[in-house]
Structure 1
Amino acid sequence: MPIWLLAIILGFVEGLTEFLPVSSTGHLLIAEHLLKIDPNSFLRSDIFNIVIQVGAVLAVIPLFRDRLTMLTKLREPASQQLLAKIVVAFGITAVGGIIMKKLHFKLPEEIQPVAWALIIGGVVFIAIEALVRGKNLPDEISWPVAITIGLAQLIAAGFPGASRSGSTIILALLVGASRVRATEFSFLVGIPTMLAAGAKQTMDALHHPVPNAPPIDWGMLILASVVAIIVSFIAVKWLLRYVQSHTFIGFGIYRIIAGVLVLLFLR
């Protein structure tokens, strides 16, 4: 398969799964195994994965322009509260991420942990949706929810397949946020979190390259990033409408099926 087609497929997978609660990291790893991409290929390098992820994140900013504009109105109490909660959630993730970095934590690249994380996450999704069924959840983000989302992002950072958006949204439901507000706040916190992580990892990759790492293929990087941007915009716009009238049980079922298939057919 030509490298340009592989780049398009990976960009599509990243854009589709970055904000859906199914794990972009896990799905990229699955795609790389299915497509039998050489582990030494640039398409499996950290810099490639980081940059296309940043592209997917940048794509959703226009969808939150009203909320982002609200954050600039610092004299309004509602804006102050929302900004403070975003900063706290981001700070929890940032401090935890620095600690994990100091401990030399690195995500495994084996496929089995991804499969099990998908299955376990799917079961958790269904269980929590059952717990909150029929409850009148408040349409605002409380401090416990903000703190939980900050901690939940660390779960996704530590377990490939856990899903950043999935972990944050479903645990926010558990501690008392409505589905729509949990999704929205998860994305608002995710924007600075992933942009900061992407910038740091990009600088590290450029200034401290891994020995014998493949050279950067700028053409394939730009191609995959453009695809990720377009697909991410469409996927998030769809998800924001979806959560207004649907639960996450469907995603839970998908995760379980996908995890089982990976265990059966990918080694």
Structure 2
Amino acid sequence: MSDPISALLLGILEGLTEFLPVSSTGHLLIAQRWLGARSDFFNIVIQAGAILAITLVFRQRLWSLATGLGQRDNRDYVLKLGAAFLVTALVGLPVRLAGWQLPETVTPVAWALLIGGVWMLVAERLAERLPDRDTVTWKVAIGVGLAQVVAGVFPGTSRSAAAIFLAMLLGLSRRAAATEFVFLVGIPTMFAASAYAFLELARDGQLGDQAWGDVGLAFAAAVVTGFVVVKWLLGYIKHHRFTGFAVYRLALGAALLLFLPAGN
């Protein structure tokens, strides 16, 4: 397969999976086994494309929050977004500085997909028994921050799945409200993570010799695909449960364990 086509497919895959509760990191790791490994810079750029996509989706909400800080509800919501981001940074940065690296084998991804699928089924069932609430509490904000760290450490976990369902169990039981809060927290979190990784690559002199055409094509694909997927998901969850995504995770995790050699 030619490099531009594989780059396009990887960009589309990033846009498809970054915000669905199925793990973009895990899918990219698996896909690059067949489509060819890409540089860390390439992976950072396509993730930035997905971040740009969700920023565009929530542009009106973000503008409303930014211009409405004089209103108590908006100010409280922004403070809780900041708290969730701060928890992620304070806990996640020491983990990164300690030299933690994501595993590059498929087996941990497969197990994370399986465990995450079970977690989604159980968590949604439990959350449905709670009162229907759409108010973000400080407990929810801190929980979302911690969930993002867990997802960053274990590929295949899915940042959105871990954070959305923990938020629902901690009291933000309405799916749409939990999803919006997690997605909004994800914007500064992912921008910061991408910027940090970019600076690491620049420090180590790894930004040269890039196939810029492939990088640009993949970035554009991630933006367009991510925008469409997030718009679709926000409408879907208003009337549907997350069960389909959980079943997909279980099926994919089982297939990887059954049909791929251990550790490959």
TM-score, normalized by length of structure 1? 0.93
Match of 1:91 in 2: 86
Aligned-residue offset at 1:83: 0.7
* Separation in 2, partners of 1:66, 1:6: 34
User: Residue in 1 aligned with 2:194?
Assistant: 198
Which one of the candidate residues 53, 56, 59 is aligned to 1:59?
53
Partner residue of 1:239? 233
Equivalent position of 1:30 in the other structure: 30
Runs of at least 5 residues in structure 1 that lack an aligned partner in the other structure: none
- What residue number does 2:247 align with? 253
- Other-structure match for 1:19: 19
After TM superposition, the structure 1 = structure 2 runs for residues 159-238 of structure 1, keeping only pairs within 5 Å, are 159-177=154-172, 178-209=174-205, 215-238=209-232
Separation of aligned partners in 2, 1:201 and 1:108: 17
Separation in 1, partners of 2:24, 2:72? 35
CA distance in 2, matches of 1:195, 1:22: 20
Amino acid at match of 2:101: K
Provide the C-alpha distance between the structure 2 equivalents of 1:28 and 1:185, rounded to a whole number of angstroms. Answer: 25
Taking the aligned partners of 1:57 and 1:265, their CA distance within structure 2 comes to: 33
Kindly tell me the number of residue pairs found equivalent between the two proteins: 259
Distance in 1 between residues matched to 2:48 and 2:75, nearest whole Å: 27
- Deviation at residue 149 of structure 1 after TM alignment: 0.4
How far 1:134 sits from its partner (Å)? 4.5
Q: 2: distance between equivalents of 1:104 and 1:137?
A: 41
Distance 1:52 1:101 in 2: 21
Equivalent position to 2:258, from 257, 261, 264: 264
CA-atom RMSD, angstroms?
Answer: 1.4
Query: Of residues 105, 112, 115 in structure 1, which corresponds to 2:110?
Result: 115
Kindly provide the CA deviation profile for residues 44-94 of structure 1, in whole angstroms up to 9, marking residues without a partner as x. 211110110011110121221232112212211011101100110000001
Shift of 1:214: 7.8
Q: TM-score, normalising length from structure 2?
A: 0.94
- Superposition deviation, residue 132 in structure 1: 2.1
The residue number in structure 1 matching 2:4 is 4
Judge conservation of contact 2:16–2:229 (CA < 8 Å) in 1: yes
| Matched residue type, 1:28 | L
Structure 1 distance, partners of 2:219, 2:256, is 26
Identity %: 47
SS of match in other structure, 1:246: coil
Distance 1:150 1:193 in 2: 9
Contact 2:54 2:227 in 1 (8 A): yes
Give, as a single letter, the amino acid of the residue that structure 2 aligns with 1:12.
I
Report the counterpart of residue 103 of structure 1 in structure 2: 98
